[in-house]
Chains A and B, each alone.
Chain A
């Protein structure tokens, strides 16, 4: 049986340290999503990475979120790297769990680290890169995800990414790969519907048709964000309001995802200043409209899913 997340509601993911902004949105949030790496510093000794929490950073972050629950969204695990994942991320996640338990945690489905040209050399890609949808990729990621599922008594989610490459190797499409991964590993999905929309638009497929094939009972969290057009591509930029085309996808999933724990609006700190507190509140209010579309059910029914 899969772990059942609490039904939290609407959350915000933003690295802004502007107290006025947090104060202005505080009453409109049910939870805050934090990125552990934003609370840390890293050292690299050869091939080994170490992270340490900055003293007081977690307390400051928790204080600004006014006591609402936290969920965790990491960026540096590199779960899909054939050369090995970043164990320093697990260390810092352990420390965070000990300091403040989270409702669930998630990471990106992709890779950042790869073998370099010289033996033993590891190359850091500098931008998240997608995985092929091959059996080999599935065989690599599924046991790692299963290990993270087992590590804490809360759900572990993997997030579908955005990519701009024309052809990824593998016989499956993105939906088939996500379905297979959640089935084999026991992990759940962080369904980024802006990423999904970007991939659909950039690679020419129908997002609603694709969603109809996705295991929505695996979706624990939804991400929404804004982006920009560049050279004919829609980019995932976390740069402002969610495009209107994305909200129908959100409504579709919310109405059909029995284990959904929350809808998170993501925005970069600089973009948050431009959008302003009122603009962020509007996005959160729109997300809350979607949240109301959840199928009615008892907590017992949620547990049974």
Chain B
């Protein structure tokens, strides 16, 4: 067997779903598989601390096992695991809608930070003619209760609050002080219009969203 083939087979065995390996692994390979999954869990704990804290132990173990079986590990860097896990949670019927919101919020914060690191946060230009769009590194995160209450409860390790009928949202963007804030009603209208096409909202609102790199003009 060539080196490439041997490496392909070993990496496949280490990363394969658990059910595919039943009865096939010697103890050393089983241990290597366990360590690989422990590293994935460690990366998620690092990148998504609030989300991981909000999961019960049983819930976390069950979700992580399913996650590792269905979503490949792609990097040493925790942010990739965080994005992948947030996407995984978004597609599940969860005990609490807050879990997916927390993961989306933590990933949005990472995205906003990395937009600055990679230099692709839009420079605020209010006079250019291109269409407005959500800037790279900017996100709108929806919550099913007050974001402040959800985040405080997750931070304290308390029970997450009950959902309510109101439509809650946080804006996350590289140019916002502290990276996140609640939008005003006018800003939400402008952002909704942006998603449908060109906004007609107040110019000062658009200017603020451009300055905070929530919006950018496509070139």
Contact = CB atoms under 8 A, between A and B. Distances in A.
A124 interface: yes
User: In this complex, which of B26, B72, B75 has the most chain A Cβ atoms within 10 angstroms of its Cβ?
Assistant: B75
Interface residues of A, number: 45
A203 to B, nearest CB: 9
A136 B72 contact: no
Interface in A37-57: 37, 40-44, 49-50, 52-55
A190 B177 CA distance: 44
B15 A125 contact: yes
A42 B40 CA distance: 16
B31 A123 contact: no
Contacts of A42: 75-77, 79-80
A166 B25 CA distance: 11
Contacts of A55: 116-117
User: In this complex, which of B28, B36, B76, B79 has the most chain A Cβ atoms within 10 angstroms of its Cβ?
Assistant: B76
A52 B31 CA distance: 33
Interface in B26-74: 26-29, 31-32, 35-36, 39-40, 72-74
A10 interface: no
A83 to B, nearest CB: 7
A233 interface: yes
Interface in A13-30: none
Interface in A129-147: 129, 132, 134, 136-137, 140
A100 interface: no
A81 to B, nearest CB: 7
Interface stretch (B3-11, B147-155, B204-212): B3-11
Nearest to B74: A124
Contacts of B10: 114, 125, 129, 165
Contact of B32 (A37, A82, A164): A164
A115 B32 contact: no
Contacts of B31: 164, 230-231, 233, 235
A291 interface: no
Nearest to B31: A164
A127 B14 contact: yes
B3 A134 contact: yes
A233 B28 contact: yes
Contact of A136 (B3, B28, B79, B114): B3
B11 A41 contact: no
A135 to B, nearest CB: 10
User: In this complex, which of A42, A54, A140 has the most chain B Cβ atoms within 10 angstroms of its Cβ?
Assistant: A42
B3 A235 contact: no
A117 B15 CA distance: 12
A116 interface: yes
A114 B8 contact: yes
Given A83-B4, A132-B6, A125 B11 contact: yes
Interface in B71-98: 72-77, 79-80
B114 A41 contact: yes
Nearest to B9: A114
Contacts of A52: 117-119
Contacts of B4: 82-83, 114-115
User: In this complex, which of B26, B27, B77 has the most chain A Cβ atoms within 10 angstroms of its Cβ?
Assistant: B77
B185 interface: no
A115 B28 contact: no
User: In this complex, which of A54, A55, A124 has the most chain B Cβ atoms within 10 angstroms of its Cβ?
Assistant: A124
A246 B26 CA distance: 27
Given A114-B8, A129-B11, A165 B32 contact: yes
B39 A126 contact: yes
Contacts of B15: 123, 125-126
B108 to A, nearest CB: 15
Contact of B28 (A43, A117, A125, A166): A166
A129 B39 CA distance: 13
A181 to B, nearest CB: 14
Shortest beta-carbon contacts, A-B, top 5: A126-B73, A114-B11, A82-B4, A164-B28, A127-B36
22 contacts: A41-B79, A41-B118, A43-B118, A54-B117, A76-B76, A81-B7, A83-B4, A83-B7, A114-B7, A114-B8, A114-B11, A114-B12, A117-B12, A125-B14, A125-B36, A126-B36, A127-B14, A127-B39, A129-B14, A134-B3, A233-B27, A233-B31
Given A115-B4, A166-B28, 20 more contacts: A41-B113, A42-B77, A42-B80, A43-B118, A44-B80, A52-B117, A52-B118, A55-B117, A83-B4, A111-B7, A116-B12, A124-B74, A125-B11, A127-B14, A127-B32, A134-B3, A163-B28, A163-B32, A166-B26, A235-B31
